[in-house]
Amino acid sequence: MLINMAESNSMKSSKRGEANVSSGFLDAIAWNTEGLVPVITQDADSGQVLMLAWMNREALARTVERGEAVYWSRSRKRLWHKGETSGHVQIVEDIRLDCDGDALLLSVRQQGGIACHTGRHRCFYRRLENSLWQSVEPVLKPPEAIYGK
């Protein structure tokens, strides 16, 4: 299944920013027992994997409505609009469903160039070398500067 965000965004209603998008696409997904589906997020230009997150039905519906990534935070037990605190919003270009219907792939334009809460471009910054996990990508901006903590 493919959701083209350009087509989806053209279906938006001007009434309170709500989308007139059919929710039938949500029923095609094999949600896990917690009502979640894993989401791989990749850079629209390079194809580089930026992160892995989770969505519930509401998160996916909001993502389609907004054209920006909204995930389900398992630790905070709430919806999480990517970039709501950091400003590092993900503009969604394309959404795909895998062959088994149990995983999503988002192609995004990462605002600010930082997808990871550690201040790196992507969350997959550690590589296994000689049985040890080594950080192999730089911190672009310290988390304290992003989140003010």
For the stretch 9-65, pLDDT in tens is 433 433 334 444 577 999 999 999 999 999 999 999 999 999 999 999 999 999 999
Is 84 domain-assigned? Answer: yes
Is 78 domain-assigned? Answer: yes
Is 105 domain-assigned? Answer: yes
Instruction: State which amino acid sits at residue 73.
Output: S
The CATH number assigned to the domain holding 76 equals 3.10.20.810
Is 138 domain-assigned? Answer: no
Which domain, by its residues, includes 62? Answer: 2-12+22-113
Is 31 domain-assigned? Answer: yes
Mean pLDDT (whole number) for 79-89: 95
pLDDT score at 14: 33
For the stretch 96-139, pLDDT in tens is 999 999 999 999 999 999 999 999 999 999 999 999 999 999 99
Residue where the block lists tokens 């992507």? 122
pLDDT at 66 over 60: yes
Query: What is the C-alpha separation between 7 and 19, in angstroms, rounded?
Result: 12
Prediction pTM value? 0.84
Number of domains in the chain: 1
Is 94 domain-assigned? Answer: yes
pLDDT score at 18: 43
Name the phi and psi angles at 121, rounded to 5: -60, -40
